[in-house]
Every structure is written in structure tokens, then in C-alpha cells.
Structure 1
Amino acid sequence: MPLFLRFVFAVVVALPIALLSSDAGAIPVFARKYQTACTTCHYAAFPQLNAFGNAFRDRGYRIPPDDEVYVKDTPVSMGVEPWKKLFPHAVWPSDMPGLPPLSIVAFSNFTYNPHRRTHTGETGFDGIGEVELLTSGTYGESLSFFGALGLYGRNDFTPSRTELERMFFIYSPQFRGLAHHVNFQVGRFEPRAAPFRDHVDLMTSGVSPDLANTWAVVPASNYTAFFPSQQGIELFGGWNGPGGKGGLSWAAGVVNGSPTDMAVDNFTSSTYPRVGSLMNMSAIKDGVESAFTGKMDVNGSKDYYARLQYKLGGMGVLGSSSQEASLKMAQNWQDPSVTFGTFFYRGVTGAFDDITAPVFSGAGANYGKNSNRFWRYGGEITGNWWNLQLTGAATLYRDKVQGGVWALNRDGTRVQGWDFDTNIYTAKLDYVALPWLVPSFRFENVNPDYDVADWKSFNRYSALVSALVRANVKVTFSGVFVGNQEGERIPALDNSYNLGLQFDF
């Protein structure tokens, strides 16, 4: 069947399914709790958050300023108020959600890859390609939680895998004026050091995560990435600015700094873009996976990071201090403001010092568990005006391998290098054309500068149209274009075009 007819067939099949779906009104967990629409917290189309949604998230999934006023689901009491006065001779009282805090997200995609053939050829339709279980809620006034469990996911003929993507708990002290200015988070989460919050980004749900969050420095054997998650502990908080507008946000954390499946899968091929067949990316990937098999981390060192950002104008970073009679559900993507952010991330991981030799065994003599000491740092500026949101970011990767890395040059001679730098510049634009229609554009300029096994700078262009056919049902049309690449294309740098359907219930 010609490609055009396949595409038309996919549209004809997908749109009626979406249009006939029930009008549930919002993403279910919090929609049921507060009896409100998903547009209360999302930037027109989910999962991207508006200013109110960010404040809700940063307050431990509580509506400012007084969460209890808006709760429509009667919680189950776990104790009584007088127990607080008896503590520590009584259990501190709490409550739990009355309704089960569970929702399901399902994805279906029709994809065309003109260069890299999928398991069905250049085109692929996964039916229901992914199903995810989401849970989130609060325990009393100071504890909250969030979880995302992949129940089903496959894009080829291999068996589906169940995987815990994220699960974390938040403690927000309510004494000494610390409420929401200081919060403690523990578990598996996306570090706030990440240049972009890809889990709540339109591009991630319709195209792919940002390279600034997922870039792998393959010659330095480093697949550590911000997205989708790391395991550790994080402190975060904020203060509203003068007049309750904007304000300061901060975060600091310690994580294991392990390779992520996405970085490993997206940077795999039998060749390497710069040096052709002289270095096998799959061999390095297999070696790193072998080194980490059965371990949370390959060494005893922990990674640490910090972030600071300040917002000028717009809603306060912790929300409004005044109590509203009802929650706003329309045009709340408009938040005239400018936000400046900066971060650093310091990590230690293993590296192969000779990528010309077999590296299939992570326990091999040429693998140093603490050899790569790396930095990630950068800054972002985000402006909101009318129906537009524009973000610019610079993200700098700095990997330094102790003892150096041996590789083969194009002429076959052995060369050695220590430093592996990458500068990534990103620009993103979201435009709310209609309350249910959001076009988005992203430009990424990637500049690797490796002592050995270098590759040329390149640009990646992404475009996405998100259309809400119901408040909880989204159809996306997207495309990614990278241009010419040396050697075999890797998944992260492949041209692709996609028609997607996502529904939450």
C-alpha cells in the first residue's frame, strides 16, 4: 500500500476512536479529587503544565493556598485531630484518598521512518503501543506521592516489559514557617536539575525528549541522563516574589547517576557517525550494560546537583495567596512573565579506556568504574506572553576520562584523548492557536567536541501539533528532521513522522 494511503487509513481509524471517547473532563486522579477539568493545571493540552500546575506540583500536589477548600472527594481519616497533642504518645493523625488514586494512560502510534527501517518496514503501526498506570495523592497536610508504572510497552516482536518509571514520596514540613519553602523528596524521579521537565512537556509526549536531557557521550561510555528518572534524594522549595508575583525556586539533590534505558536504546548502532566502522557503538553499549547488570550503580560515588531560578511577573511560583471561589479552567495558559534558570550536575561513572579492543565484558581489564568524572551545567530563559511560550537554553556537557581513551582514527592509527565536550543549544515555541489546538516547534543545535571519535555538529528540527478532541483525549501530528548523518543512523537522530493518539481515563 502506498505511504499516503497508509497515512490516510491511520487518520480514518484513529480519529473516530478519539471522537467517540467519553468526555471525562480531565486527567482522572486529580480531576476526580477536585471535580475540575484538566485545563486547570495544563497548558491547554496535557501533559504540559501552566503556572497554576507548576505551583500545584511544587506544593506537593496541593492547590494553593488552602487545598482542603477545593477537595470534593471525602478523604478517609486515619486518626483524629487531638492525637497531634498527644504525640509522641500517639500516632500522628493523617488521611488517605477516598477514591483509589489511579488512572490509566494509553498510547497508539503510526510512524514513518524514511531511513531506519522499523520491525514492519519503513512504516509501523503499534496498535496500543504503551499502557501506563499513574497514581498520585496526599497523606494529610505534609506527605504526598506520585508514581508511574509502565504496564505494557512494545514496538517490535519482543515481549512487553513492566517497568517502574517513577515513584517518589514528598514530605513538606508544616512547622517553623517551612511550609512548601523546603520539601524533601525520595525515590525514583526526574531531577530538577534537568534543563527541561520532559515528563510535562508537549514535545516529549508527541515527538521525543530533548537532547539536552538525554544525550549520551558514547566514546566516554557515559549513558547517564536526566530523563526519564534517577534514584535518590532531593530538596526543593520556593518563595513568591514581591506582591505575590513570580519568585525564587531552588532544588538540590543526590542521586545514583545510573545509565537510563532511553539513552542506551537511542544511541546504538553497529557504526559510529564520525569514524565509521572503526568503533562499534553497540559493543560499548553492551559493555556498559554488562558492567551495571545486577547493580544500582557501578561505583560507590554519588552524583549531586543544584538548581536556582527566578520568575519575574506572572503567578507566584507557589501560587496565589488569596482564596478563589472556584478554580479557573479557561485561558490559564496566559501568564505574562519571564523566568531565568541555571543548574549544575556533578557525576562519576565508569569508562572503557580502549574502545578499539573488545569491550563486551563490563568486568574487563579496560573498564574503570570511576574513570569518567563529568559535569553538566547550563541555563534557560522562558518567556510567556499572550498565547505564546518561548524558551531558550544552553546545556554544556563536560566529560573527562582519567587515563584517557584510546580509539582508531580514520586512517587506522591509534589516538588517545581525555576530554569529551558537547554544547547543546535549544529553542522551543508553543502557541495556543485555539483552546484545544497547540502547535509546537523545537530547534536543537548540537556541537560535540571530542578528543577522539569526534563527530560533526548538527541540527535537529521538530514540529508537533497537539489537538484535544476531548479534554482527556489527544491526537498528535509530528515530524523530526536531522538531515545528513555519517554512518548508520541511531534512533535519537533519525528522521521520523508520526500520527499519535493518547487517552487518559
Structure 2
Amino acid sequence: MTRRTLRAAAALVAASVLAVAPRALAIPAFARKYGTSCVTCHTVYPRLTPFGEAFRRNGYLFPGVDSDFIKQETVPLGQDAAKKAFPNAVWPAWVPSIPGLAIGANGTVVTHPTKGSDAARADSNGQFQLDNLVAEGHLWGGWSIDDSTTLWFEFTVAPGTADLERAQILFNSLFGPKHAFNLVVGRGIPTLSSFGPHSSYLSDTQFVSFAVSDVYGGTGASWQLVDNFSMVELNGVLAGRLEYGVGMNAGSHLTPRGTENVYGHLGVKLGGMRLDGEGSTGSTDTAAPWAETALTVHGFASHANSQFNNAAFVDAAGAPRSLQDVSNTFGVGARAQYGSLELNAEAYWDKHDHATAVAGADGRPGEVKATVVWGELSYILYPWLVPAVRVEHVVLDPTGGVSTNYTRLLPGAALLIRPNVKLVLVATFETASGAPDQGGSWAGVGSALVPPDPNTSESLQFASLNAVLGFVF
């Protein structure tokens, strides 16, 4: 959402013609279902309020009895009496009288205020780049079929491609205490944090996620921490304050293979609204439902096995060899809230046994250790205006190579023009101490910085000034 630019004088003019929508999980289809505004669950979408986070954790169901809050007309599929006759009858459900659909689009405009920056040179030394003005279109669908089961999907089209990015069935409160045991089946993003994957005002995802093997020239199906995978996940909230999640996913492979990827997370919230939204906890200020004093901390772990290609490794016939990389990741994160002021921070350590473009003693790619840290400070000045600043830092340390690091600084603001129309203004500053050696490049983390070698640095560059207009209906 953030790494696209407009120069200051032209920013607001050009923004008026952008057609950009962020990827979101809570969609307008749910607003229609409950007959409520999008700001019930969002600040500047897709960022969620504490209630919106509870709605997400509850499998996109309202706390309490979900059907008590549905305003849209439904068509029953069976009668409640069928529950008593089960298993000799089909368990009843319902469907909406109007399909629970939403639409949106993505687009970007790029402008480089400093034509001498590496980012400007990568864009053919041009100040404006309009090739991706309209890059993607989205169709979302979401609905509950009873008080414990939800369906939703995201279908994306782009020039020359179409992809069912996400599609899940969520079975909630399967047994035991309410919200304690939920099952997610389908394709989506593994739950590694206590908050939704789009919990940033200035970036598409809160995690700084990239394929380490891609940095060193890998291609094909390189694995990264946050992506859409076919998955099965068990999660839940205990006593309203403790949450957990464990799951397995298919990961990234050149060809289908047995699933070895597993992950888990654990989080706890002190103060503020309960994680499940039950009870009377949370903000008492109806004009500022996002405002609370709370601290949430969480940790996660992930084990993944992936396949990829690298041009440095070929067989006797010169064809690319299928390479395998095992990654083990551990991370911690926190969100501190004091009224409308919020600080988010995350750090994770990622070890890859085979990722570089240089062979080790076993003839396979060498080992790489990655350290990733990010933080974002924001303040909701008005319900429609949120200034923020974000910092991202990546360190790569290959065995037998030189440790290098890359830093991105993103100051900006998110504005809600209407409940489902927003504008993000953000500047991008970048610096790097060296480039990943052993055939590596910072392009793998989404940067255009090109230090000559691991022993040189690029000073802080003003890469871009971004203006993004988003809509979803």
C-alpha cells in the first residue's frame, strides 16, 4: 500500500484519479450483513479497532449470539428441529437473501522527488511512473451460515492473471468454553500475531516479510513468513485475555510434496477490551471507540521446508536443480496503547539452512541467518486522520559471508475521506550497509538500493513520496 509516490505539488491532484484499494479481511459484505458502518470495526481501514480485532478472532462473528445482530434478510436452509434429529437430518443453516459480496481495486502511481536516488534510476530515471495506475481488481465474499460457521474468500485479477488468493471456512466454538476452540480450513495467512495481518497504517502488512532465498537469486517458489498458503489451523481465546494458535500449511514448493510446515503463536492482553469482545470491557468513549489503555504481547514460532531454483545450481545438462531450504523462525511482538496513541513493535529471527547462491561443503546453498525488526507509532488525531511513522530494519548474515543490513523509514498519515474511501500519504527513506554478498541483492526485500559490494554503504536516500487513494464497496 505504501511504496508508491507523488511529488508534493502534484500529490493531491494525482491522488484524485488513483484507483487503489488495500487488501482487507473485514469487508463491506459484513457491514451490509449487520446494517452498520465500516467504522464499527475499523479506524482507517483495513486497520481494526479493538472491537474489530475481537470480531476477527471470533471468526467474523459478533460477540454474544451472532444472529441477534444480523439485519439483512436471510433464507433458512432447514429448521431448528433438524438439530434434534441429527444425525438423521442435515444440520440447518441459512444464506443471505443478497449475496455477501464486496468489490475493490488496486493501483499505484510512482514519483521520485530525488531523480538521483537508486529508486529513480531503477524507474528509468523518470519522476512519474503510471504503469501500475490500475494493477488489480478484487472480489470478496463473506457470510456466516449459522451462529458458529463463517465462509469468506478473496479473488484477485490483474493484467494477464487471475488468482483465488484466499478462501476459508471457519468453524467457531467447536466445544468447551465459548471462543476456546476454533478451526480454520482453507487458503489464507497463518496466524503469527495477536493482530490482523494488515495492522499497519503505512504498509500493506504489519510484518516485514520476504523470501530470503530470493535475496540470493532464488526463483520459483521461495518461502516467506507471511503469504497465502493452503492451511489448517486451530486457535482460540481463553478467559478473554489469553489467545493461542497452532497450524500447518502447504508452504511453497516447485512441485507438490508432503506438508512439513508447522507454526504456533501465544498472546496475552492486559487492560482494555477482552480479546473476544465479550462483557463490558473496552472504551467507554463513544466518540473514540478505538481508545483504550492496554498492553498486548505475543510470541510465535515457525518451521518450514520449501523448494526453489537458483541459476547458480544446475545439473549436468545445464537445467536448474530443485533446491530445498529449511527455515526455523522465532519472534516476539507487542502493542502498547494509551488512549489514541499506539506503539507496535515486532522482531523475529529466521535461520535458513540452504539459501545463498554459494555452495557449502555439501554442494548445496549456504546458510543464512536473518534478523528483522520493525516498529510503528501512530496517533488517531481525528477519527479520519492518523499520522504515523514506521521503521523497518533487516540484517542478513550468511555463513562464510559478510553481514549486511537494510533500513527503511516511513513517515506519513492515513486519512479516511469516507468510511470506505481513504488516502495514505507517506514518504520513503532508505539506507543500506552493504549489499548481500554471495550473489545477493536488496531487490529481494522490495528495495532498489544497489550498494556496489558488502563493504560499501548507501547513505539515507529520499526514495519516494507516496500518495495512495483506496476504495472498497
Which of the numbers 212, 215, 230 marks the counterpart of 1:216? 212
| Paired amino acid for 1:249 | E
Contact 1:355/1:405, CA 8 A, preserved across alignment? no
Q: Which residue of 2 aligns with 1:448?
A: 396
Structure 2 vs 1, CA of residues 301 and 16 (structure 1 numbering), >3 Å: closer, same or farther?
closer
Alignment of 1:248 onto 2:237: no
- C-alpha distance in 2 between matches for 1:112 and 1:360: 46
Contact 2:202/2:414, CA 8 A, preserved across alignment? no
Which of the numbers 427, 438, 446 marks the counterpart of 1:492? 446
| Paired amino acid for 1:407 | V
Q: Which residue of 2 aligns with 1:115?
A: 118
- C-alpha distance in 2 between matches for 1:301 and 1:27: 31
Q: 1:209-262 deviations in whole A, cap 9, x for unaligned?
A: 632x33423449483123331111011111234xxxxx0010000101116xxx
Q: TM-score, normalised by structure 2?
A: 0.81
- C-alpha distance in 2 between matches for 1:121 and 1:54: 41
Q: 1:58-92 deviations in whole A, cap 9, x for unaligned?
A: 11111112222221112110011111111111111
Which of the numbers 265, 276, 280 marks the counterpart of 1:318? 276
- Secondary structure of 1:193's counterpart equals coil
Query: 1:249-288 maps to which residues of 2 (within 5 A)?
Result: 249-258=243-252
Alignment of 1:135 onto 2:141: yes
Contact 1:190/1:226, CA 8 A, preserved across alignment? no
- Secondary structure of 2:36's counterpart equals coil
Q: Which residue of 2 aligns with 1:37?
A: 37
CA offset at residue 421 of structure 1? Answer: 0.4
Q: Which residue of 1 aligns with 2:161?
A: 161
Which of the numbers 375, 399, 404 marks the counterpart of 1:427? 375
- Secondary structure of 1:57's counterpart equals helix
| Paired amino acid for 1:202 | Y
- C-alpha distance in 1 between matches for 2:207 and 2:192: 14
CA offset at residue 179 of structure 1? Answer: 3.2
Contact 1:348/1:374, CA 8 A, preserved across alignment? yes
- C-alpha distance in 2 between matches for 1:141 and 1:62: 8
Contact 2:6/2:110, CA 8 A, preserved across alignment? no
CA RMSD of aligned residues (A): 3.4
Which of the numbers 146, 153, 173 marks the counterpart of 1:147? 153
Structure 2 vs 1, CA of residues 119 and 55 (structure 1 numbering), >3 Å: closer, same or farther?
farther
| Paired amino acid for 1:71 | I
| Paired amino acid for 1:383 | A
Which structure 1 residue ranges, 5 or more long, are not aligned?
A: 19-25, 154-158, 242-246, 260-291
CA offset at residue 303 of structure 1? Answer: 0.2
Q: Which residue of 2 aligns with 1:407?
A: 358
CA offset at residue 465 of structure 1? Answer: 1.2
| Paired amino acid for 1:436 | W
- C-alpha distance in 1 between matches for 2:32 and 2:86: 33
Q: TM-score, normalised by structure 1?
A: 0.77
- C-alpha distance in 1 between matches for 2:364 and 2:401: 10
Structure 2 vs 1, CA of residues 119 and 471 (structure 1 numbering), >3 Å: closer, same or farther?
farther
- C-alpha distance in 2 between matches for 1:147 and 1:329: 32
Contact 1:33/1:73, CA 8 A, preserved across alignment? yes
- C-alpha distance in 2 between matches for 1:485 and 1:392: 22
Contact 1:254/1:305, CA 8 A, preserved across alignment? yes
Which structure's residues are more often helix, by fraction?
Answer: 1
- Secondary structure of 2:12's counterpart equals helix
| Paired amino acid for 1:479 | A
Contact 2:194/2:267, CA 8 A, preserved across alignment? no
Contact 1:399/1:421, CA 8 A, preserved across alignment? yes
CA offset at residue 328 of structure 1? Answer: 8.7
Q: Which residue of 2 aligns with 1:393?
A: 346
Q: 1:416-451 deviations in whole A, cap 9, x for unaligned?
A: 974310111221112111110012211122111111
Structure 2 vs 1, CA of residues 498 and 17 (structure 1 numbering), >3 Å: closer, same or farther?
closer
Contact 1:40/1:328, CA 8 A, preserved across alignment? no
CA offset at residue 357 of structure 1? Answer: 4.5
Query: 1:192-231 maps to which residues of 2 (within 5 A)?
Result: 192-193=191-192, 197-205=196-204, 210-211=207-208, 213-218=209-214, 219=216, 221=218, 223-231=222-230
Contact 1:381/1:392, CA 8 A, preserved across alignment? yes
- C-alpha distance in 1 between matches for 2:422 and 2:316: 42
Query: 1:316-395 maps to which residues of 2 (within 5 A)?
Result: 316-321=274-279, 330-350=287-307, 356-358=312-314, 364=320, 366-368=321-323, 371-395=324-348
Q: 1:127-159 deviations in whole A, cap 9, x for unaligned?
A: 3332211111101122102211113x3xxxxx3
Contact 2:78/2:93, CA 8 A, preserved across alignment? yes
Q: Which residue of 2 aligns with 1:306?
A: 264
More deviation, 141-150/125-134: 125-134
- Secondary structure of 1:72's counterpart equals coil
Contact 1:473/1:502, CA 8 A, preserved across alignment? yes
Contact 1:439/1:466, CA 8 A, preserved across alignment? yes
Q: Which residue of 2 aligns with 1:266?
A: none
Structure 2 vs 1, CA of residues 456 and 375 (structure 1 numbering), >3 Å: closer, same or farther?
same
Which structure 2 residue ranges, 5 or more long, are not aligned?
A: 20-25, 436-440, 449-462
Contact 2:6/2:128, CA 8 A, preserved across alignment? no
CA offset at residue 28 of structure 1? Answer: 2.2
Q: Which residue of 2 aligns with 1:503?
A: 471
- C-alpha distance in 1 between matches for 2:263 and 2:318: 27
Query: 1:17-36 maps to which residues of 2 (within 5 A)?
Result: 28-36=28-36
Structure 2 vs 1, CA of residues 201 and 228 (structure 1 numbering), >3 Å: closer, same or farther?
farther
Structure 2 vs 1, CA of residues 193 and 174 (structure 1 numbering), >3 Å: closer, same or farther?
closer
| Paired amino acid for 1:12 | V
| Paired amino acid for 2:465 | Y
Q: 1:75-124 deviations in whole A, cap 9, x for unaligned?
A: 11001111111111111111112221001122332212442434894422
Contact 2:270/2:296, CA 8 A, preserved across alignment? yes
Contact 2:395/2:404, CA 8 A, preserved across alignment? yes
- C-alpha distance in 2 between matches for 1:329 and 1:83: 41
Structure 2 vs 1, CA of residues 382 and 416 (structure 1 numbering), >3 Å: closer, same or farther?
same
Contact 1:256/1:302, CA 8 A, preserved across alignment? yes
Q: Share of identical aligned residues, percent?
A: 27
- C-alpha distance in 2 between matches for 1:17 and 1:458: 30
- C-alpha distance in 1 between matches for 2:285 and 2:106: 28
- Secondary structure of 1:214's counterpart equals coil
